[in-house]
Chain A
């Protein structure tokens, strides 16, 4: 089984987000970059599926040359191959991105690289458009499920589960298919040192995609950073001694008792 995981290079979101003066970009000078957390799970899922069923894993991203760093992170997790669809660093938006990815997948030359499973993160950590996986599926005319937190494959059929309030939805889809996964589906591995070292020397295929300018897409006006909620936390007490105060709070302030 050949599995493709598509990832996106995004600023590390573990800190306060600062915007550039023109409000067009996130100031990334102190942040560093990572792949979106859902996509990290997509990569891990790809590896685990291939570990169970055999085959090849492939990781792909559309982004600037620096996004090679995120591809290497995936390679260090032991993905077999990587492809960069190199852009000039501008945000392409979901429509152009999906179109370029679909083209790349369609154009991949030999039979060995036909993918049985195309994994995406449910949404990117920076833009959160929720669209790329769905659009790629539409372009390639493949079935698609999103928001998936459990995935099993047997005899060319995938069983995918999505959490809903009070239960879960279970889908069965024929492969090849597109599946957008969410954090929690697995525990992404840490790369070993040897794998990380080898990944640095591994080849990354580099393709130059065309940016399809299509009508009806979003146009970014500016970014806004919401005010951080910096209200102080208060420790009411420790152990049983804290109970009266908590009860008091629940009665008077929160009014749930």
Chain B
């Protein structure tokens, strides 16, 4: 390890030597990089970022599978470096609502393979005798939780990185990055106050300074520094009899959004309940100018007042120790993002520039590992799609947006967050030309990638009466189950099947690819054969080299040297990065992003043809416009391009036109549809009820890196001759028996022990007859990847990957929901639709 002169060149430069940068250095070295410069503005071992002031505990169980698995893997790494203490952790509940939430924690623990169980008040008293049990109702015990030493871990990782590269690690502390040199869209060099270093690749791992560094390359990392207040109280005589750093489980007082944890003879008390205090990165002092450290400004006293009262209530004996005082108090600065998840991955507008930011102590070692895998081999063992920085690409990076969402999200850190809960700030941000019309129809808008999309329309309330019989038994009496939901969705669904509906805009990513090499390029990118006739459409998986899913999307051949790729809005930023990142240096392929210039209106249902045909210049008959093809059409005055396909399994089209003419298109279709009682229907139908009945998969739910097309039942393409990314693993997966297969299940009995009908929402564990969570031979738990009602089949449907011994139609199993088990039956193994299995509606 050298730490003298700054080299003139390094293969990899990592900016930031906190826990993230150190972990990256180590794992990149393990992955084969052999020349890494690790630089930081501050000194080592504590450069003054958030790593230096964290409370350093890890509670692995979260509702996000990604975060739970990253934290679990991080615990393993800290443990391996001898920097982990397994103290356990307890989340206590002061309210009944929180006890329900803790039941949901148990559920998530089981789904993600983590230990977790509820505790009685007496059990808590025994494990943590200093907690005031008079005010709590129970708790959730995370046996795997503990504390770590991230500064020590950083040292170990630096040493290991250097060993792995035979001295290939150069350390450069006290070195300030002044500029990033970019030429021809690629990173060239890092300019510092100690000289300029040419670099093949650069990773920004600078914590809350990351946006400032990114700006030097003309790109954006959307995070803001936010205050997390923390004090340390000691010496507490009670702890004097116990050796070591921590002998009692970390306590999270969830309802007050606080934690209390032993640290030697002190008790650390931290809070997320105070008003959000967001900083501007420009206002953070330099190391010289900061009395403690740049990320530890003085405690804002008035914001901490209620936190003190709450802490004194839950651990009064310790805090009222006559010898103990507040020895340390800070407004600890940490990174907060618009949705609370990290910001990882390639910054797609600058080749070779990566972000590894907004990472907290609890997940940092695993994220360093996963990003190193992503950088070196294109995929990571743990799927990182929830953390892909490109999810905010070109809409969610403004300072205003980041501040508003961080402000709103701060309260959610310890909050009870419904899985469908919508953000309220910075809306509406992205609106389609249909927005005003939909708003006038009392649409309930949900947001995806900034786009406002109606989830259902209150104006369709009259349909509830019409479909009263069909909806009997599908309505949700429980408030939690029906939060962010309406039975109108089910009625809209039935109306679409019986009559006709218009859906849009879905917020798709729309990318045109042109160039003389585009045919070869497209073949290389996807599983399906894309060298098809002009006008054909291809639905296909997109794979990484491991054969896991990067995406699934539809490709239409527009011309001999022109394709259009349509992908889901939430995945669009990541897909754009993936596709643009795979264009070879000498390849004549250009990506044209049409996402903001084209809008999409779906017209589907029994009467869809009658409606569209009445206003189209072209012949829209089955023969003239066959399924799975695309054509240019003119609807009324509006020039459009349409694909005959459907994610809801209906006859009809996705019709595309320019944003400018979208509203006119809406009006024409609405008027033409009047005699068929056409209704606008929401994404509740498009994204859930319609697709679930049809067995259609959703990226990020069923489809992710950890599963293959064989397991997902998407093998209809076979293995084509042309080479493509992931071909080898894909072909192998086709040959092998599936470790698990995606199945559609239905709920047999919704009745809970107190007689209320309950409806699962997704992510629940699937249990065998013995009540044990089903785990496949690769160690993956079976859990509900999507849940939704299928009104046409009259059942509540669930999707889950099941190992062969359970993937059997008619097989009875159980799903755990809110602490109770409900009987379910496997309806379909694989992708055959429950509704209209022959696809007659699409094909006629």
Q: Given A191-B326, A196-B308, A197-B309, check contact A15 B301 (CB 8 Å).
A: no
CB < 8 Å neighbour of A192 from B288, B301, B320: B320
The answer to whether A194 and B320 have CB atoms under 8 Å apart is yes
| Contacting residues, chain B, for A192 (C-beta < 8 A) | 233, 319-322, 324-326
Is the C-beta of B532 less than 8 angstroms from some C-beta in chain A? no
Query: What are the nearest 9 A-B pairs in CB distance?
Result: A190-B325, A30-B285, A32-B298, A14-B291, A16-B288, A197-B308, A15-B291, A12-B291, A193-B319
Is the C-beta of A69 less than 8 angstroms from some C-beta in chain B? yes
The answer to whether A193 and B311 have CB atoms under 8 Å apart is yes
| Contacting residues, chain B, for A72 (C-beta < 8 A) | 301
Q: How far does the alpha carbon of A18 sit from the alpha carbon of B289 in the complex, in Å? A: 8
| Contacting residues, chain B, for A211 (C-beta < 8 A) | none
The answer to whether A69 and B297 have CB atoms under 8 Å apart is no
CB < 8 Å neighbour of A197 from B233, B288, B312, B322: B312
The answer to whether A15 and B312 have CB atoms under 8 Å apart is no
Task: For the complex formed, measure the closest distance between the CB of A120 and the CB atoms of chain B, giving whole angstroms.
Answer: 24
The answer to whether B292 and A14 have CB atoms under 8 Å apart is yes
Q: How far does the alpha carbon of A29 sit from the alpha carbon of B282 in the complex, in Å? A: 12
Is the C-beta of A106 less than 8 angstroms from some C-beta in chain B? no
| Contacting residues, chain B, for A18 (C-beta < 8 A) | 289
Is the C-beta of A25 less than 8 angstroms from some C-beta in chain B? no
Task: Return the chain A residue nearest B315 by Cβ.
Answer: A193
The answer to whether A193 and B290 have CB atoms under 8 Å apart is no
Q: How far does the alpha carbon of A191 sit from the alpha carbon of B309 in the complex, in Å? A: 15
Is the C-beta of B231 less than 8 angstroms from some C-beta in chain A? yes
Is the C-beta of B769 less than 8 angstroms from some C-beta in chain A? no
The answer to whether B302 and A200 have CB atoms under 8 Å apart is yes
CB < 8 Å neighbour of A193 from B233, B288, B289, B297: B233
| Contacting residues, chain A, for B309 (C-beta < 8 A) | 197
1/0 per residue B274-292: CB within 8 Å of A?
0000000001011011111
Task: Return the chain B residue nearest A195 by Cβ.
Answer: B325
Task: Return the chain B residue nearest A198 by Cβ.
Answer: B308
Q: Given A14-B292, A30-B289, check contact A190 B301 (CB 8 Å).
A: no
Task: For the complex formed, measure the closest distance between the CB of A195 and the CB atoms of chain B, giving whole angstroms.
Answer: 8
1/0 per residue B290-323: CB within 8 Å of A?
1110000110011001001101100000011110
Q: How far does the alpha carbon of A213 sit from the alpha carbon of B737 in the complex, in Å? A: 94
The answer to whether A194 and B298 have CB atoms under 8 Å apart is no
1/0 per residue A8-26: CB within 8 Å of B?
0000101110100000000
A18, A191, A196 — most chain B CB neighbours (10 Å): A196
Is the C-beta of A53 less than 8 angstroms from some C-beta in chain B? no
Q: Which of A129-152 contact B (CB under 8 A)?
A: none
The answer to whether B319 and A200 have CB atoms under 8 Å apart is no
| Contacting residues, chain A, for B291 (C-beta < 8 A) | 12, 14-15, 31-32
Q: How far does the alpha carbon of A16 sit from the alpha carbon of B288 in the complex, in Å? A: 5
Task: For the complex formed, measure the closest distance between the CB of B324 and the CB atoms of chain A, giving whole angstroms.
Answer: 6
Task: Return the chain A residue nearest B302 by Cβ.
Answer: A200
Task: For the complex formed, measure the closest distance between the CB of B343 and the CB atoms of chain A, giving whole angstroms.
Answer: 26
| Contacting residues, chain A, for B322 (C-beta < 8 A) | 192
The answer to whether A12 and B298 have CB atoms under 8 Å apart is yes
1/0 per residue B456-498: CB within 8 Å of A?
0000000000000000000000000000000000000000000
Q: How far does the alpha carbon of A18 sit from the alpha carbon of B285 in the complex, in Å? A: 11
| Contacting residues, chain B, for A189 (C-beta < 8 A) | 325
A-B contact pairs, 20 of them (CB 8 A): A12-B291, A12-B298, A14-B291, A14-B292, A15-B291, A16-B288, A30-B285, A30-B290, A32-B297, A69-B301, A190-B324, A192-B320, A192-B325, A193-B231, A193-B233, A193-B269, A193-B319, A197-B308, A197-B309, A228-B288
| Contacting residues, chain A, for B327 (C-beta < 8 A) | 190
| Contacting residues, chain A, for B288 (C-beta < 8 A) | 15-16, 228
Q: Given A16-B289, A32-B291, A32-B298, check contact A193 B283 (CB 8 Å).
A: no
Q: How far does the alpha carbon of A14 sit from the alpha carbon of B311 in the complex, in Å? A: 29
Q: How far does the alpha carbon of A59 sit from the alpha carbon of B591 in the complex, in Å? A: 71
1/0 per residue A109-145: CB within 8 Å of B?
0000000000000000000000000000000000000
| Contacting residues, chain A, for B321 (C-beta < 8 A) | 192
Task: For the complex formed, measure the closest distance between the CB of A203 and the CB atoms of chain B, giving whole angstroms.
Answer: 16
Q: Given A14-B292, A29-B283, check contact A197 B305 (CB 8 Å).
A: yes
Q: Which of A197-238 contact B (CB under 8 A)?
A: 197, 200, 228
The answer to whether A194 and B285 have CB atoms under 8 Å apart is no
| Contacting residues, chain A, for B305 (C-beta < 8 A) | 197, 200
Task: For the complex formed, measure the closest distance between the CB of B362 and the CB atoms of chain A, giving whole angstroms.
Answer: 26
| Contacting residues, chain B, for A194 (C-beta < 8 A) | 308, 312, 319-320
Q: How far does the alpha carbon of A161 sit from the alpha carbon of B305 in the complex, in Å? A: 40
| Contacting residues, chain A, for B269 (C-beta < 8 A) | 193
Q: How far does the alpha carbon of A183 sit from the alpha carbon of B671 in the complex, in Å? A: 85
Q: How far does the alpha carbon of A193 sit from the alpha carbon of B297 in the complex, in Å? A: 19
Task: Return the chain B residue nearest A72 by Cβ.
Answer: B301
| Contacting residues, chain B, for A29 (C-beta < 8 A) | 283, 285
| Contacting residues, chain B, for A31 (C-beta < 8 A) | 289, 291
Task: Return the chain A residue nearest B292 by Cβ.
Answer: A14
Q: How far does the alpha carbon of A32 sit from the alpha carbon of B231 in the complex, in Å? A: 16
Q: How far does the alpha carbon of A232 sit from the alpha carbon of B289 in the complex, in Å? A: 18
Task: For the complex formed, measure the closest distance between the CB of A19 and the CB atoms of chain B, giving whole angstroms.
Answer: 12
Task: For the complex formed, measure the closest distance between the CB of B209 and the CB atoms of chain A, giving whole angstroms.
Answer: 15
Task: Return the chain B residue nearest A11 by Cβ.
Answer: B291
| Contacting residues, chain A, for B297 (C-beta < 8 A) | 30, 32
Task: Return the chain A residue nearest B329 by Cβ.
Answer: A196
Q: Which of B76-106 contact A (CB under 8 A)?
A: none
Q: How far does the alpha carbon of A15 sit from the alpha carbon of B48 in the complex, in Å? A: 14
Q: How far does the alpha carbon of A191 sit from the alpha carbon of B324 in the complex, in Å? A: 8
| Contacting residues, chain A, for B324 (C-beta < 8 A) | 190, 192
Task: Return the chain B residue nearest A77 by Cβ.
Answer: B325
Task: For the complex formed, measure the closest distance between the CB of A43 and the CB atoms of chain B, giving whole angstroms.
Answer: 14
Task: For the complex formed, measure the closest distance between the CB of B268 and the CB atoms of chain A, giving whole angstroms.
Answer: 12
The answer to whether A15 and B231 have CB atoms under 8 Å apart is no
The answer to whether B290 and A15 have CB atoms under 8 Å apart is yes
| Contacting residues, chain B, for A15 (C-beta < 8 A) | 285, 288-291
Task: For the complex formed, measure the closest distance between the CB of A13 and the CB atoms of chain B, giving whole angstroms.
Answer: 8
Q: A192-B326, A193-B312 are in contact. List 6 more A-B contacts (CB 8 A).
A: A30-B290, A31-B291, A32-B297, A192-B322, A197-B308, A228-B288
| Contacting residues, chain A, for B320 (C-beta < 8 A) | 192, 194
Q: How far does the alpha carbon of A228 sit from the alpha carbon of B286 in the complex, in Å? A: 15
| Contacting residues, chain A, for B319 (C-beta < 8 A) | 192-194
| Contacting residues, chain B, for A30 (C-beta < 8 A) | 283, 285, 289-290, 297
| Contacting residues, chain B, for A12 (C-beta < 8 A) | 291, 298
Task: For the complex formed, measure the closest distance between the CB of A105 and the CB atoms of chain B, giving whole angstroms.
Answer: 28
Task: For the complex formed, measure the closest distance between the CB of B147 and the CB atoms of chain A, giving whole angstroms.
Answer: 22
Task: For the complex formed, measure the closest distance between the CB of B325 and the CB atoms of chain A, giving whole angstroms.
Answer: 2
Q: How far does the alpha carbon of A196 sit from the alpha carbon of B328 in the complex, in Å? A: 13
Task: Return the chain B residue nearest A15 by Cβ.
Answer: B291
| Contacting residues, chain B, for A191 (C-beta < 8 A) | 325-326
Q: How far does the alpha carbon of A194 sit from the alpha carbon of B269 in the complex, in Å? A: 13
Q: How far does the alpha carbon of A14 sit from the alpha carbon of B297 in the complex, in Å? A: 12
Q: How far does the alpha carbon of A70 sit from the alpha carbon of B233 in the complex, in Å? A: 20
Q: Given A16-B288, A16-B289, A31-B291, check contact A196 B298 (CB 8 Å).
A: no
Task: Return the chain A residue nearest B300 by Cβ.
Answer: A32
Task: For the complex formed, measure the closest distance between the CB of A139 and the CB atoms of chain B, giving whole angstroms.
Answer: 34
Task: For the complex formed, measure the closest distance between the CB of A94 and the CB atoms of chain B, giving whole angstroms.
Answer: 26
| Contacting residues, chain A, for B302 (C-beta < 8 A) | 200
Q: How far does the alpha carbon of A117 sit from the alpha carbon of B131 in the complex, in Å? A: 43
Q: Which of A167-196 contact B (CB under 8 A)?
A: 189-194, 196
Q: How far does the alpha carbon of A14 sit from the alpha carbon of B302 in the complex, in Å? A: 23
Task: For the complex formed, measure the closest distance between the CB of B32 and the CB atoms of chain A, giving whole angstroms.
Answer: 35
Task: For the complex formed, measure the closest distance between the CB of A192 and the CB atoms of chain B, giving whole angstroms.
Answer: 5
Q: How far does the alpha carbon of A197 sit from the alpha carbon of B299 in the complex, in Å? A: 13
Q: How far does the alpha carbon of A200 sit from the alpha carbon of B301 in the complex, in Å? A: 9
Q: How far does the alpha carbon of A15 sit from the alpha carbon of B290 in the complex, in Å? A: 6
Task: For the complex formed, measure the closest distance between the CB of A17 and the CB atoms of chain B, giving whole angstroms.
Answer: 9
Task: Return the chain A residue nearest B267 by Cβ.
Answer: A193
CB < 8 Å neighbour of B326 from A16, A32, A193: A193
Task: For the complex formed, measure the closest distance between the CB of B218 and the CB atoms of chain A, giving whole angstroms.
Answer: 28
1/0 per residue A50-69: CB within 8 Å of B?
00000000000000000001
